[in-house]
Chains A and B, each alone.
Chain A
Amino acid sequence: MKVQQISIFMENRAGRLAAVARLLGTTGINIRALSLADTSDFGILRLIVDKPEEAKKALKANSFTFNVTDVVAVQIPDEPGGLASVLEALQAQNVNVEYMYAFVEKCGGKAIVVFRFDDLDGAIGLLQGAGVRVLSRQEVLSL
Chain B
Amino acid sequence: MPAMIEKKSKPDIRIWQPECECMERSALEALQAERLRLQVERVWQHCPYYAAKMREAGVEPGQIRTIDDVRRLPVTTKADLRDNYPFGIFASPLKDVVRLHASTGTTGKPTVVGYTRDDMQVWSDLVARFLVAGGLTNEDIVQIAFGYGLFTGGFGLHYGAERVGATVIPASSGNTERQIMILRDFGTTALVCTPTYAVYLGEALKQAGVDPEQLALRLGFFGGEFWTHAIRAKIEELYGITATDNYGLSEVVGPGVSGECPYQDGMHIAEDHFLVEVVDPTTLEPVPIGELGELVITTLSKKANPVIRYRTRDISRLNSEPCACGRTMRRMAKVTGRTDDMLIIRGVNVFPSQIEHVLLQFEDAQPHYLLVVTRERQMDQLEVRIEVSEYLFSDQMRQLHDIRERLQRKIDSALGIRAKLTLVEPGSLERFTGKAKRVLDLRNSEIPKN
Contact = CB atoms under 8 A, between A and B. Distances in A.
Interface of A: 5, 7, 9-11, 16, 37, 39, 41-42, 44, 46, 63-67, 69, 98-99, 116
Contacts of B426: 63-65
Tell me what chain A mostly uses at the interface: helix, strand, loop, or mixed. strand
14 contacts: A9-B423, A9-B425, A11-B423, A11-B425, A41-B422, A44-B395, A44-B397, A63-B427, A65-B387, A65-B388, A65-B425, A66-B393, A69-B395, A99-B396
A67 B425 contact: no
Given A9-B388, A10-B425, A65 B393 contact: yes
B428 interface: yes
B424 interface: yes
Interface residues of B, number: 19
Nearest to B450: A13
Given A65-B388, A65-B389, A67-B390, A7 B423 contact: no
B182 interface: no
Contacts of A16: 425
B395 A5 contact: yes
Given A9-B388, A65-B388, A42 B423 contact: yes
Interface in B375-434: 387-390, 392-397, 400-401, 422-428
A67 B393 contact: yes
A10 B393 CA distance: 11
Contacts of B395: 5, 7, 44, 46, 67, 69, 116
Closest 3 CB pairs of A and B: A7-B395, A63-B427, A63-B426
B365 to A, nearest CB: 12
Nearest to B427: A63
Given A37-B397, A39-B397, A42-B423, A11 B428 contact: yes
A64 B425 contact: yes
A108 to B, nearest CB: 29
Interface string B353-388: 000000000000000000000000000000000011
B424 to A, nearest CB: 6
A71 to B, nearest CB: 9
Nearest to B396: A98
Nearest to B426: A63
Given A65-B389, A69-B395, A99-B396, 10 more contacts: A10-B425, A11-B425, A11-B428, A41-B423, A44-B396, A46-B395, A65-B387, A66-B393, A67-B390, A98-B396
B299 to A, nearest CB: 47
Contacts of A64: 425-426
Contacts of A63: 426-427
B235 to A, nearest CB: 24
Nearest to B401: A39
Given A67-B393, A67-B394, A69-B395, A11 B424 contact: yes
A69 B426 CA distance: 20
Nearest to A68: B395
A46 B401 CA distance: 17
Contacts of B390: 65-67
B431 to A, nearest CB: 13
Contacts of B394: 67
B398 to A, nearest CB: 8
A9 B393 CA distance: 7
Nearest to B423: A42
**Most central of A37, A42, A46, A67 by chain B CB within 10 Å:** A42
B408 to A, nearest CB: 12
Contacts of A9: 388, 393, 423, 425
B55 to A, nearest CB: 58
Contacts of A65: 387-390, 392-393, 425-426
Contacts of B427: 63
Contacts of A39: 397, 401
A31 to B, nearest CB: 16
A67 B403 CA distance: 16
Contacts of A41: 422-423
Contacts of A99: 396
Interface string B168-182: 000000000000000
Nearest to B428: A11
Contacts of A11: 423-425, 428
A64 B393 CA distance: 11
B346 to A, nearest CB: 23
Contacts of B388: 9, 42, 65
B226 to A, nearest CB: 23
Nearest to A43: B397
Contacts of B400: 42, 44
